[in-house]
Amino acid sequence: MSTAGELATGAEAPFWQALQDGRLSLQRCAGCGTWHWPAVWRCSACGGWEHAWEDVPMRGEIYTWTRNWHSFGGLEALEKPFVIVVVKLDGADGARLMGILEGDTSDVAIGCKVTGRVGQTLYADRSVPAIRWSRA
């Protein structure tokens, strides 16, 4: 699995391109306006094949979280413990994105408001662009 190959292909390629430019961009059906995440080739709501990619603010609330203590292979560069969050976006019809919560994580809870910035996660010898969230 090569990061470059993975990011350049697939229905979600524009997501990665935007992320590398520091933006969050998500997919919306050009026909009926339905938001799609994960990205699709075909809109199952209207049968359309054309999609637009719209910038979405990196803002939302914590949908769920886990504080990770175990040293799983490949994540040696991340200081433990670290908190993984699933964030429900304010926009994009509430699509959820995964990420790491930075800053103060002591009183993390479902429903906390967060904002994001684009960072990088080192996994083994790969660097993957990823959203870092922090309490709003």
Partner 1 sequence: MKGIAAIAGVGLRQYKRAEAPLPERGVLVRAVVDACEDAGFDPADVDGFATYGDDKNEPVRLMSDLGTKDLSWSSQVFGGGGGGIAAAFGQAVGAIATGQAKAVIVFRALAQGDSGRLSAAVMAHHLNAHMIGAGLVAPAQVCALRAQRMFEHFGVPRGTVEAFVRAANYHGEHNPEAVAYGKPFAEEAYRTARWISEPFRLLDCSRENDGAGALLVVSAERARDLRKPPVHILAVAQGAATGWGDLLENDDDDQYASAGFRAVASRLWARSGLTPKDIDVAQVYENFSAQGVASLIDHGFCDYDDVAEFCRFENLIAPSGRLPINTAGGNLAQGFIHGIGMPVEAVRQLRSESANPVPGAKTCLLAGGPGAPIVSSAIFGTEETLG
Residue from 88, 17, 84 nearest 55 by CA: 17
Three-state SS for 101-125 is ECCCCCCCCCCCEEEEEEEEEEECC
Return the number of the residue (58 or 97) whose C-beta is nearest partner 1. 97
72 near partner 1, rule: CB under 8 A: yes
**Rounded CA gap, 9 and 73, in Å?**
26
Task: Tell me the Cα Rg of the chain.
Answer: 16
| Amino acid, single-letter form, for residue 38 | P
Return the number of the residue (6 or 90) whose C-beta is nearest partner 1. 6
**Subset of residues 3 to 62 that bind partner 1, contact rule: CB under 8 A:** 3, 6-7, 16, 37-38
66 near partner 1, rule: CB under 8 A: yes
Residue numbers at the binding site for partner 1 (CB under 8 A): 1, 3, 6-7, 16, 37-38, 63-70, 72-75, 78, 81-82, 84-86, 95-100, 109-110, 121, 123, 126, 128-131
